[in-house]
Amino acid sequence: MRNIRLTVEYEGTGFSGYQFQPEDPTVQGELERALVELTGAPHRVQASGRTDAGVHALAQVVNFHTESDLPLKAFLHGVNAFLPEAIRVKSVAEMPLDFDSRRSAVRKTYLYRIYADHAPPVLMRAFTWWIYNNLDIEEMRRGASHLVGIHDFAGFRSAGCDSLTTIREITAVRVSREGNLISIEVTGSGFLRNMVRIIVGTLVEIGQGRRKAESVSELLKDCDRGKAGITAPPQGLLLKEVFYGDEPLEVYP
């Protein structure tokens, strides 16, 4: 038995999220279908985390156990040959048998992109959230600073979140701007459902002057979802990187 890790990039526009759904196209469904085509056997593909419909990934990490003796090169080029153009395997590694892409993750970085201008973008409409208002980046940074640390993020999760605990650690939140493009990077040990999108929605309201930067501390204390900002739309969100402590046995390329 072998444990194979894939690093996968995908555009989430045409998919109903990562997790398999029998009636709808999903990233997991396409990966598992491609593995059947390549190896002739079914495989269950575990991901570092589920992304929602419309959310993208630069480096989603998945793993699966297999009895196949194909070389790592074949898993990269072979799986890609059977995937739609919106999904690509970027690298392959053979891992220790106890490696788990979700449980072994040490931290993750999500990137959210906002396009701030008087008119919505055309070429970036599937990858950004258009905001007409001019945003105060410095105030957004002040609000973001309150998120760093170990907190109860119950007020920053969607109603459908089934996590047993809402305590999470955020190690960094970076807000930057280049021209019309505003980027918000959030790094943490783990995330609740829609947590990053609610953080972004809250920071945008701060940038618009609709709430104070200091209100973030109050939201963390109140644990009331109704008092936080809106849930930002999915197309601006991208899973940028997943970090692990486990060393691979072999990597390609």
pLDDT given for residue 133 in this prediction: 80
List, for residues 194-217, the tens digit of each pLDDT value: 999 999 999 999 999 999 999 999
pLDDT, average across residues 46-58: 97
Together in a domain, 35 and 88: yes
Residue 251 lies inside a defined structural domain of this protein: no
Q: Are 86 and 220 in contact (CB under 8 A)?
A: no
Q: What is the domain count for the chain?
A: 2
3 state SS of 69:
coil
**Domain end call among 54, 69, 103:** 103
**Domain end call among 103, 135, 170:** 103
Domain, as residue range, for 132: 107-240
pLDDT given for residue 231 in this prediction: 97
Mean pLDDT, all residues of the chain: 97
- Told to judge if 52 belongs to the known catalytic residues of this protein, a careful annotator would answer yes
Name the catalytic one among 52, 69, 162, 224. Answer: 52
Mutual angle of helices 195-207 and 137-145, in 10-degree steps: 130
Residue 252 lies inside a defined structural domain of this protein: no
Share of the chain above pLDDT 70, in %: 100
pLDDT given for residue 228 in this prediction: 97
- The answer, yes or no, to whether residue 164 has pLDDT greater than 90, is no
**What number of other Cβ atoms are within 10 A of residue 113's Cβ?**
19
CATH of the domain at 94: 3.30.70.580
Residue 112 lies inside a defined structural domain of this protein: yes
The strand ranges marked E within 18-128 are 46-47, 56-66, 87-95, 105-116
Together in a domain, 97 and 111: no
Together in a domain, 122 and 98: no
Distance CA 174, CA 189 (A): 16
